[in-house]
Amino acid sequence: MIKVQRSKKLSGFVSIPGDKSISHRAIIFGSLCVGKTTITGLLESEDVKRTIEAVRQLGAKVEKKNGKWEVYGFGVGGFTSPENVIDCGNSGTTCRLLMGAISTTPISAIFVGDKSLSQRPMDRIIEPLSEIGVKCTAREGSFLPITLEGTSSAIPPDFESRVDSAQVKSAVLLAGLNSRGTTKYVEKTLTRDHTERMLMFFGGKIKSEKTDNGYVHYLQGLQELKPQEITVPSDPSSASFFIAAALMVEGSDITIKNICMNETRIGFLKVIDKMGASIEVNNKKTICGEPIADVRVKSSRLKGVKVPKSLVPSMIDEFPILAVLAALAEGETEMKGIEELKVKESDRIFSMAKGLRDCGVNVFFGDDYMTVKGTREVRGGQLINTFSDHRIAMSFMCLGQVTQKPIEISESASVGTSFPGFVEKFKEIGANLSSQTSR
C-alpha cells in the first residue's frame, strides 16, 4: 500500500523510460530479421519482458550487453513452435501482436495470461486471423487460453476493423508479412502507427492512405527485413502522469526530455492545451522514424473541455490521468466514445469513476462516456482500489499530490507493467509518497 499526501511544488528534469509500444515492436521486428538488431533505451517493464521471453521461446536469441539489448532472429517465417505455453502476463500487446506475427508460419502455440488479460477480448484478433485461414481455439470463443495453429497458405485479407485498435492493425500486418499477396487493412481512425514506421525503418514497404472510408494500409507479403540499431524514445503515456502532476501542484515547473511526439500519440497534449495548460515543446528531432521533443510544463489553472471523439485513439491510455485533471479543472469535462476503456487492464471507466467518487468528485458515466465535474479542492481521505491496473494506480498517486486529505493506494506493484521506478522518479521531483508495507 502507498500513502500519498499533498506535495509542495514539483521541479526539475525528468527522464522517462522507453515507449512501451515501440519497445514491444523493436523486439518483435528484431526477431523477424536474420542478424543482430541492437536496441538502446528499451523499456524494461513487466510487459516488455513478456515479449522478450515469448520471442526467445519462438527461437530468437535476446540478451542485454553493455546496457543495450541485442536480438538475433531467423527472418520472416523463421519462428519455431515453443515447447511451453507463451505466458503474456498482463500484456495485451505481447499476446495480440505475437498471435499475428506467428500466425502465417506453420507452427502452433498456446497463449495464456494473468487474470486481467484472460478477461480481455481476443475475438478482435481471432476474427481476421480466421479469415486468412489460421485456426484459433479460444475459451468461450474469445478469451485466453488460446491455441493457435499457424498456416503456410494464408489468404491475404481485405479487412475492415470494427474497433480502432493498433494491436489489431499490427497483428494483421505482422501476419501479412509472411503471406503471399497483399494484405489490406482499413481503420476508421488512424491508430498509433509504430508498426508501420518500424516496418519501414527495418527496410520493409507499406503503403498507407487516407480515404473517405478511413485509413487504408497495403502490405505486400514475403518481404525481407534488415536488422537495425534502434533507439526507443520516452513514452508519452508514462510522461502524462508527471505532466498532469506538474499542472496540478502549484508552483511546479518540470522538463521531460525526448518524449515520443508521434501525432497518433499526442491527443492528451492537445486536450490539455485546450484546457489551458502551460506547455512548451522544444528540441524537436526525429529518431528511428519517430518524432521526439522535450516538453516543459508549469502548473496551470485548467478549465473543463469536451474531448473531441477524433482524438480518442491518440490518447486512449491517457483517459485515467485526464479524468484526474478534469476533477481539478473549472467546469465539466466530457469524454465520449471511450467504450474501449472498458476492455483495458481494468474497466477504466468504472475504476476511475469509483476512485474519483470516493474522493468526493462528481462523476457521471455509462458504457461509452464519462463526465467529470471539476472542483477546485478534491477532498480525498480514502483508500483507492487500483483494480491492479498500473495506469489507475499512477493516476491516483498524482491526484493524491493535491487532495485535501491524504489518500491510500491499494497496491503499487502493477506500476511495473509499464513504468518501473515510477514512485522513486516521482519522489525525485518532489512528490509526496510513502510505502506503508513492503510488497
Shortest distance (Å) from residue 165 CB to ligand S3P: 3
- Residue-wise DSSP of 239-267: HHHHHHHHHHSTT-EEEEEEEE--GGG-H
> What SS3 class is residue 232?
coil
- The residue among 68, 18, 82, 71 whose CA lies nearest residue 48 is 18
Residue with Cβ nearer ligand S3P (192 or 217): 192
Residue with Cβ nearer ligand S3P (289 or 374): 289
Shortest distance (Å) from residue 270 CB to ligand S3P: 17
- Residue-wise DSSP of 286-315: EETTEEEEEEEEE----B--EEPGGGGGGG
- Those residues whose C-beta lies under 8 Å from the C-beta of residue 75, and which sit 6 or more positions away, are 32, 33, 34, 224, 225
- The residue among 131, 54, 48 whose CA lies nearest residue 86 is 54
- Residue 85 grid cell: 505455453
- Residue 277 grid cell: 495548460
Catalytic residue, chosen from 47, 87, 317, 389, is 317
Residue with Cβ nearer ligand S3P (166 or 172): 166
Q: At what angle do helices 92-102 and 20-31 cross, to 10 degrees?
A: 30
> What SS3 class is residue 434?
strand
Residue with Cβ nearer ligand S3P (337 or 360): 337
Shortest distance (Å) from residue 47 CB to ligand S3P: 9
Contact residues for ligand S3P, defined by CB under 6 A:
21, 24, 93, 165-167, 170, 192, 316-317, 340
Question: Cβ atoms within 10 A of the Cβ of 109, count?
Answer: 24
Residue with Cβ nearer ligand S3P (99 or 433): 99
* Residue 188: DSSP 8-state: S
Separation in Å, CA 25 to CA 146, 169, 261, 296, 409? 21, 13, 17, 28, 32
Shortest distance (Å) from residue 418 CB to ligand S3P: 8
CA angle centred on 163, ends 393 and 199, rounded to 5° = 85
- Residue 144 grid cell: 485466453
Shortest distance (Å) from residue 259 CB to ligand S3P: 16
Shortest distance (Å) from residue 124 CB to ligand S3P: 8
- The residue among 133, 26, 143 whose CA lies nearest residue 92 is 143
Is 47 an active-site residue? no
What is the set of active-site residues?
A: 317
